[in-house]
């Protein structure tokens, strides 16, 4: 059975601006049917790496937060710390970045909580017995919430093909150790050149895997269980994850993490297709959008939502000067010398080493949702 996905463009009138349109979209799509009364509600959003300007404007987050508060809910904006080194590796830097990018309580009407805590180690172990993940490591504050809402910036992604609802939920809600598990076999290594031999990794490990010898740390891969805590406490960021698994394995694990976040509680999902940068908002820069802005979508089904967004993007022409346009120019001409746009998936053309369908197909297998949808324009 097809899921309903509600859609509106960015076209406005003198009587209805974009924030009003988003509010109407939420009402029409049925978000108000959720019982928010006195419920802690996590609004999962990407605050944007500092320097990136493609992330969603905080004004949109305020519309969602105000909608929830009008229904008696207690919303908070949330994300988990990053696996890589940047402006969101720990909660203090993460919150500061969120505020610098406009997500302060004064602007959005609700507070920011970094779900996996100060160093990315505050996590809830969620047993799911999946095909690839047995116990997902999810940011604690996210699992403490009664209701879960994803507010997604739909854009390209250098590993997943695109970043939409499932990426925001599955990868975004994983603790630092959870992110490492999704990206790799879960066992980190030490870059010895930057190691100062402080021993922080040896103190945090319950399995005596890190060893400091001659002023340099190393990790015994046989003893390591892949918890990721050494990666979180290293003051010099010299402990790194092994990004050694296939894109499909990443997609499968990400789907199972999304299942862990969503199961057994009310959830709803909103995606905005605007500033469709080729890469994730985790980058400290944003390139020319690959396609023009399209609109706003909402659904109870995150899988159908992602599928609808992907289809809408693939129907759009490439923006001149974008990575997508450049790759089309360099790669494909038919015998007549004309571009054959029909044969391309915009996301795979932007990042040829990626593919995204396996993630949504695995989500269907898990029962998260369906790729079949009815697009309802409002």
Tell me if the domain spanning 3-184+247-377 has CATH number 3.40.50.11440.
yes
Would you call 153 helix, strand, or coil by DSSP? strand
- Token couple for 30: 């049925």
**Given this model, what pLDDT does residue 336 score?**
39
- Average pLDDT for consecutive 10-residue bins of the chain (378 residues)? 97 98 98 98 98 98 98 98 87 98 98 97 96 97 98 94 97 94 80 95 89 96 79 84 76 97 98 97 95 98 98 98 93 46 81 91 98 98
**Given this model, what pLDDT does residue 241 score?**
74
CATH 3.40.50.11440 domain span(s) along the chain:
3-184+247-377
In this structure, are residues 300 and 267 in contact, taking their beta carbons and an 8 Å threshold?
Answer: yes
**Given this model, what pLDDT does residue 347 score?**
96
Q: E strands of the chain, at which residues?
A: 3-9, 40-44, 74-79, 111-114, 123-127, 135-139, 147-153, 155-157, 161-163, 189-190, 210-213, 216-219, 239-240, 267-273, 295-299, 373-377
CA distance 254 to 151: 17
**Given this model, what pLDDT does residue 204 score?**
86
Give the list of residues 6+ apart from residue 193 with CB closer than 8 angstroms, or none: 238
Tell me if the domain spanning 189-240 has CATH number 3.30.70.20.
yes
CA distance 292 to 138: 34
In this structure, are residues 257 and 143 in contact, taking their beta carbons and an 8 Å threshold?
Answer: no
- At 139, phi and psi to the nearest 5? -50, 130
- Phi/psi region, residue 374 (left: phi>0; alpha: psi -120 to 50; beta: rest), is beta
Give the list of residues 6+ apart from residue 69 with CB closer than 8 angstroms, or none: 75, 109, 110
CA distance 301 to 269: 7
Radius of gyration of the chain (CA): 21
CA distance 189 to 23: 47
Please choose, from the candidates 79, 140, 75, 138, the residue with its C-alpha nearest in 3D space to the C-alpha of residue 111: 75
Would you call 137 helix, strand, or coil by DSSP? strand
CA distance 55 to 115: 19
In this structure, are residues 153 and 163 in contact, taking their beta carbons and an 8 Å threshold?
Answer: yes
Place of tokens 């019982």: 35
Q: How do residues 310-351 score in pLDDT, each as one tens digit?
A: 999 999 999 999 999 999 988 743 433 444 555 679 999 998
Pairing of strands 161-163, 155-157: antiparallel
**Given this model, what pLDDT does residue 245 score?**
62
């Amino acid at each position: 059975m097809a899921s309903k996905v509600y859609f509106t463009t960015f076209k406005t009138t003198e009587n209805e601006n974009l924030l009003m349109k988003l509010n109407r979209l939420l009402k029409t799509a049925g978000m108000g049917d959720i019982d928010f009364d006195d419920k802690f509600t996590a609004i999962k959003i990407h605050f944007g790496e500092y320097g990136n300007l493609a992330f969603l404007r905080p004004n949109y987050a305020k519309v969602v937060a105000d909608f929830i508060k009008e229904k008696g809910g207690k919303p908070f904006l949330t994300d988990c710390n990053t696996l890589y080194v940047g402006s969101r590796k720990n909660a203090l830097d993460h919150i500061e970045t969120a505020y610098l990018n406009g997500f302060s309580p004064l602007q959005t009407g609700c507070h920011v909580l970094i779900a996996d805590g100060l160093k990315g180690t505050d996590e809830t172990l969620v047993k799911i017995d999946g095909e690839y993940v047995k116990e997902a490591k999810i940011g604690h504050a996210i699992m403490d919430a009664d209701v879960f809402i994803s507010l997604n910036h739909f854009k390209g992604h250098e590993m997943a093909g695109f970043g939409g609802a499932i990426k925001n939920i599955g990868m975004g809600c994983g603790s630092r150790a959870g992110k490492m598990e999704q990206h790799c076999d879960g066992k980190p290594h030490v870059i010895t050149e930057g190691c100062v031999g402080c021993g922080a990794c040896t103190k945090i490990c319950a399995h005596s895997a890190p060893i400091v010898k001659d002023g340099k740390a190393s990790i015994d891969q046989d003893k390591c269980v892949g918890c990721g805590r050494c990666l979180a406490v290293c003051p010099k960021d010299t402990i790194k994850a092994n990004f050694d698994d296939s894109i499909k394995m990443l997609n499968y694990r990400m789907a199972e993490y999304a299942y862990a976040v969503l199961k057994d509680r009310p959830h709803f999902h909103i995606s905005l297709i605007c500033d469709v940068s080729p890469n994730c908002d985790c980058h400290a820069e944003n390139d020319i959008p690959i396609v023009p802005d399209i609109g706003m979508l909402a659904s109870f089904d995150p899988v159908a939502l992602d599928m609808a967004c992907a289809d809408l993007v693939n129907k759009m022409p490439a923006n001149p000067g974008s990575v997508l346009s450049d790759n089309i120019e360099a790669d494909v001409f038919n015998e007549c010398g004309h571009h054959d746009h029909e044969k391309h998936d915009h996301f795979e053309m932007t990042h040829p080493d990626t593919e995204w369908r396996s993630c949504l197909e695995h989500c269907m297998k898990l029962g998260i949702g369906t790729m079949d949808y009815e697009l309802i324009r409002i």
